[in-house]
Amino acid sequence: MSSFSAITPGTDLSRHARDLVRMHDAVIGGGRPIMRPRAVVARSWSRVFETGLDPSGVNARTPYPIEEIELRRRRSPLSTVIGDLTQIVAPVADASQLLLVVTDADGVILWRNGSARIRARADTLGFREGSVWTESAVGTNAIGTALAEATPVQLFSGEHFEQTQHPWYCTAAPVHDPISGEMLGIVDVSGPALTLHPAISALVDTAVRLAESQLWRRHEQRLDHLRTSAAPLLASVRGPLLLVDDHGWVAHSSGVATTGRVAAPRSDRAITVPGLGLCLPEQLPHGWLIRPAERTSRISMTLRLSSPPTVEVIGADSSWHSPVTVRHAEILLLLQRRGREGMTVADLGHALFGDADHAVAVRAEVSRLRRALGAVVDSRPYRLAESLDLVVEAPDAGRLSESAFVRRSTSPGVRALAA
């Protein structure tokens, strides 16, 4: 059984659905339920209570017009794999009374495929193309909760916030871009609650793995094209170098060993590359040429915990400053406090979210941090790059522990600094 499944093999679906509906009614009514909601459900209900949504019916749905849906489809990287996903579900859709639904990262349903009869039932819920299926729009549901938790979610019957969704099960999982780490959208399989089978979780997992593997295959094809187009230039350049794409994935290396990816290059700043030191990227028509700078030095970075947080960087032949997100400032602060010992993915998960169940979210945030600031964080474990000197300043307080940034942080590891 998958770790995110709502049922176990042999579960009496009818009885379990009745128990969950009673639990839902007790919690919504302010009573004490006989059974407790699962942790993922309890967290979602807590978030949804704050939105003021009505649990007794269908809340307002305002689907996007077809023009906006088509525009989002064209822009979505998942448009290149939707045909493969449909092939997985189509053979069993009618017999199993299920729907395949694919959304973008905003929770907008872009594609829906499956049993015609179930599609008609879904229409009455507004569960159709163009609808926004986030927690803030329709309450606790597998798509919206998977977006909020950045993890696979399965919900059954009364675990949904809206009573009109109780006759359904939903199983959803995020799809991430294997190149950038960004969440691209959600793959969801839904159907009548009493048709839920434990194998549905495996079906969704298979669909996500297929989508990500196909996206990776197309990425490799683009690297092949980059190598081919840059071949004449590479033949004329001497010395160690890397040829990379816009995300820092290495298409070709000469004179240096690489792990396959470096920091995403930018023309206005230097980056550090293991084995090359400080480098100045040179932009090509379809990628970047990375060679060592004429001299190497350490990089000095100042993190100011202002509102918003900012960083100022001084390196060889390059200096710049830039705002950073609160989450990225928290990561830099936590890694600076830990020193060369570093932090594992689980350590950062506990420090940022209070548990170790957010490994995907941690990796995605560190990936975004590297793209924004360069190779300032090493992996395995996560720690500040050896060539980086980081100073943290709290402009609004004499001591870090007294700063508004620390006191207002939602991350347990940062809040602990106030002690």
pLDDT greater than 60 at residue 315: no
Q: Summarize the confidence of residues 70-74 as an average pLDDT.
A: 96
Of the ranges 90-94, 253-257, 260-264, 279-283, which one carries the lowest mean pLDDT score?
A: 90-94
Q: What is the pLDDT of residue 179?
A: 83
Side-chain half-sphere exposure of 354, counting CA atoms within 13 A? 7
- Token pair for 349: 């998960």
The tens digit of pLDDT for each residue in 141-171 reads 999 999 999 999 999 999 999 999 999 999 9
CB 97 within 8 A of CB 191: yes
Q: What is the pLDDT of residue 318?
A: 52
pLDDT band for position 1 (50/70/90)? Answer: very low
- Give 35's contacts (C-beta < 8 A, 6+ positions apart): 19, 20, 23
Question: Average pLDDT, whole number, for the chain?
Answer: 89
CATH annotation of 299-418: 1.10.10.10
Q: What is the pLDDT of residue 124?
A: 93
Is the pLDDT higher at 232 or at 186?
186
Q: Which of 254-263, 271-280, 379-388 has the highest mean pLDDT?
A: 379-388
| CATH 1.10.10.10 residue window(s) in the chain | 299-418
Q: What is the pLDDT of residue 380?
A: 85
CB 133 within 8 A of CB 154: no
Cis bond upstream, residue 281 (ω within 30): no
pLDDT greater than 70 at residue 130: yes
- Token pair for 77: 């990287």
CB 59 within 8 A of CB 53: yes
Which of 166, 198, 192 is closest to 96 using CA atoms?
Answer: 192
3-state secondary structure at position 356? coil
Of the ranges 55-59, 129-133, 161-165, which one carries the lowest mean pLDDT score?
A: 55-59
Distance (Å, whole) CA 419 – CA 412? 11
Residue type, 87: Q
Residue keyed to tokens 């009673």: 22
Domain covering 13-217, topology: Beta-Lactamase (3.30.450)
pLDDT greater than 80 at residue 105: yes
pLDDT greater than 90 at residue 15: yes
The tens digit of pLDDT for each residue in 196-220 reads 999 899 999 999 999 999 999 999 9
What contacts 24+ positions apart, CB below 8 Å, involve 399-402? 400/305
- Token pair for 132: 């926004």
Question: Which phi and psi angles does 168 have, rounded to 5°?
Answer: -120, 155
| CATH 3.30.450.40 residue window(s) in the chain | 13-217
Q: What is the pLDDT of residue 57?
A: 76
pLDDT greater than 50 at residue 129: yes
In which order are the strands placed within the sheet that holds 318-323? 318-323, 310-315, 299-304, 388-393
pLDDT band for position 296 (50/70/90)? Answer: very low
Q: What is the pLDDT of residue 150?
A: 93
Is the pLDDT higher at 265 or at 372?
265
Cis bond upstream, residue 309 (ω within 30): no
The tens digit of pLDDT for each residue in 316-372 reads 545 667 788 999 999 999 999 999 999 999 999 999 999 888 899 999 999 888 777
Helix (H) or strand (E) holding 320: strand 318-323
pLDDT above 90 covers a percentage of the chain that reads 59
